Structure 1
Amino acid sequence: MEFGVHLPLMEFGGEAVSLAGLQATVDAARDGGFTTVSANDHFLFSTPWLDGPTALAAVLDRSGDLTLATTISLLSLRGPVPLAKTLVALDVLSGGRVIAGVGPGSSRRDYDAVGMSFEDRWSRFEEAVTILRALLGRGPMPEKTRYYAVPDGELQPLPVKDGGIPVWIGSWGSPAGLRRVARLADGWLASAYNTSPEQFATAQQQLADIPNALVTMWTWITEDRSERERVLHDVLAPLLKRDPDDLRDRVCVGPAGHCADLLSRYAQANCHRAHLWPLGDPPRQLDLFANQVAPRI
């Protein structure tokens, strides 16, 4: 199993979002043996959210050989042509290290912010992803479109590598979502706090040889039981509007042994890569993970 890290696009514990914070996270990931840095996407959220693609661009010069991924980007809302231009720019400037993780998004607020119907999100997404695949060199352009215009020529520059930029689709694991991944995607992004190792294993078996990754694995490594409870009850549960007891066994919040056991179960379920999102102080949390958790998985 490989490991990636989500860039710190939100504030936790009074830590302001900053370029220095992004850079320190990437440095820690590179030094700790991680393989991927990624950025999630929201226009509106319960807390200020730094733009994901912009954050990835800001750390290009510190990223070394790390893969750069969107996990996910709001394809339906950003539009396939503008998003393709952004992704190809990142790909060209990084020397071909981009994975395009996309999805329709699950927040009505994001749709309301740009004046789109939330109820149309799946039909919009299906069309948008076929257009995006064509623009990124992964398939033919659809003959007819309903929601989005297509360019009358090839977008340039082109992706760096022959075969274009891989397009991965995020799905929480519903039957319809997994069928969509199998039909349209080069990889599957599963949501850590919306699944379990057992659910992941069942879903992964339906996707044959499609690559996968587990994203948004909220992480706070601590041996202090009271600190664990504080983070679950006062930080993570209010952020996600979830019951802390429902989150307890799904995320890497707690002792190193708990985190290693949870991720070992995912490794046994044939999870290829897990993306951690530290709930504050990313460099220290990534160092703890690299030294106290990863060797036990």
Structure 2
Amino acid sequence: MPPAAFHVRPPGWLGPRAGGAFAALRTWAQEAERLGFDGIFVGDRMLASARDADGREVYAASMLEPFTTLAALAACTTTVRLGTLVIVVPFRHPVPLAKAVASLDVLSEGRVILGTGVGWNGPEFAVLGLDPAERGPRFEEALEVMRALWTAEPVTRSGRFWELDGTHVSPAPAQDGGPPIWIAAFSPGQALDRAGAPSAAALRVLDRAGRLADGWVPLVYSASARHRLGAEALGRAWEHVLAGAERHGRRREDIDLVFSDWGYVLTDGASRRRCEQALAGFFAGDWADALRTYSIGTAEEVVERIRRDTASVDHVDAYVFTPLDPDPEQLGLLAEHVAPALRAG
């Protein structure tokens, strides 16, 4: 079994004025590549804030548009993978989305991983005139359309949302068949079921991942509920994903388990203060809430927490770690202490 990949994601939170944001991101990304991380991922937030189903503010900040950002990063890096975690697919028509992803894959010489999700922020659906109840079917049809277009052959199909008549997108992605598609599960606005069987809606999501995903990325924390998904619940969810894959003729080797987390490596009292300052920019809870929600502690404590959280799955194929603070020192601590331990399994 090869070592697990270890990717990083800059927190990316920005306020209304973001002067100098890319200069800092470019330096961060180049340092991540120099330190030997496998990939750099960016998020997708359209509006200036995000709220859960009850109207509570989950995030009070936003991010740069992901494909613009990744294209710029492709120009200043050479080997590191570049990905979205996640792009909200139902917000986009699949033809221009397929074109954008293929173009980015060509420009980066085959370094793209497409992390996808169905979305959860109600105001974003509302401003686009989309029905959140249709996000699952819209998502699945969009993936089918994009994968067909990435073959570089004309596509004719009649679906629930889109009709294509000899539609041909060129050039094809650098990666044969297109970039790997990761599918996320759960959302930062939910209370995360930590006990008992998954709901019927959750089972549909897990089956979708088993059927369609090259990688499954469960969200293991809830920023609004201020809790994490327990190891047993994660293990049960993964079993449902694998069962869905088997029902559709797929094997364990066909789907990666990707563990995505946010956290901070503490070294002293000053580092705790920097972590608290970073949290204040987007997290509404106190320090105790943050410790329940994210992986915060010494390098050894961060590794132990992640190992504990993944104890009920067979193995983790890739990690995506988002430092709560973009301080490049965090990259060095992750590269020296956290990534080697987790890559080793």
TM range, normalised to the smaller chain? 0.7 to 0.9
Classify the secondary structure of the residue corresponding to 1:88: helix
Deviations 1:188-245 (A, max 9, x none): 1221325344333333334233112122x2222114469648846x754883556865
Equivalent in the alignment of 2:246? none
8 Å CA contact 2:278–2:325 kept in 1: the answer is: no
Structure 2 Cα separation of the partners of residues 292 and 16 of structure 1? 33
Equivalent in the alignment of 1:275? 320
Is 1:199 matched with 2:242? Answer: no
When the two structures are aligned, how many residues end up with a matched partner? 294
Q: What do you get for the CA RMSD once the two structures are aligned?
A: 3.0
Q: Tell me: CA distance 1:230–1:64, structure 2 relative to 1, closer, same or farther (3 Å).
A: closer
Deviations 1:91-133 (A, max 9, x none): 0011111111111111112112212122222222222222122
Structure 2 Cα separation of the partners of residues 289 and 125 of structure 1? 34
Deviations 1:3-24 (A, max 9, x none): 1111342139x98661211112
Equivalent in the alignment of 1:184? 212
Equivalent in the alignment of 1:257? 300
Structure 1 Cα separation of the partners of residues 294 and 14 of structure 2? 19
Equivalent in the alignment of 2:257? 212
Is 1:239 matched with 2:267? Answer: no
User: How do residues 1-297 of structure 1 correspond to structure 2 at under 5 angstroms?
Assistant: 1-11=4-14, 18-44=21-47, 45=49, 46-137=60-151, 143-150=157-164, 152-172=166-186, 174-194=202-222, 195-206=229-240, 207=242, 208-209=252-253, 210-215=255-260, 217-224=261-268, 228=272, 231=275, 236=279, 239=282, 245=288, 247-265=290-308, 268=311, 269=313, 270-297=315-342
Classify the secondary structure of the residue corresponding to 1:41: coil
Mean Cα displacement is larger for which, 86-95 or 182-191? 182-191
Q: Tell me: CA distance 1:17–1:241, structure 2 relative to 1, closer, same or farther (3 Å).
A: farther
TM-score (norm 2): 0.75
Classify the secondary structure of the residue corresponding to 1:58: helix
Deviations 1:139-173 (A, max 9, x none): 99684212234363220000113232222211128
Deviations 1:21-44 (A, max 9, x none): 111221221122210111111111
Higher helix share: 1
8 Å CA contact 2:106–2:173 kept in 1: the answer is: yes
8 Å CA contact 1:3–1:274 kept in 2: the answer is: yes
Structure 1 Cα separation of the partners of residues 316 and 122 of structure 2? 30
Structure 1 Cα separation of the partners of residues 118 and 5 of structure 2? 26
| Unaligned ranges ≥5, structure 1 | none
| Unaligned ranges ≥5, structure 2 | 50-59, 187-197, 223-228, 243-251
> Which has the larger Rg?
2
User: Taking every aligned residue pair, what percent have the same amino acid on both sides?
Assistant: 31
Classify the secondary structure of the residue corresponding to 1:239: coil
The one-letter amino acid paired with 1:65 is: T
Structure 1 Cα separation of the partners of residues 165 and 184 of structure 2? 26
8 Å CA contact 1:225–1:254 kept in 2: the answer is: no
Classify the secondary structure of the residue corresponding to 1:59: helix
Q: Tell me: CA distance 1:197–1:240, structure 2 relative to 1, closer, same or farther (3 Å).
A: farther
Structure 1 Cα separation of the partners of residues 215 and 87 of structure 2? 14
Deviations 1:237-293 (A, max 9, x none): 883556865652452222222211123335653122111212223411111111233
TM-score (norm 1): 0.86
The alpha carbon displacement at 1:2 in A equals 2.1
Equivalent in the alignment of 2:57? none
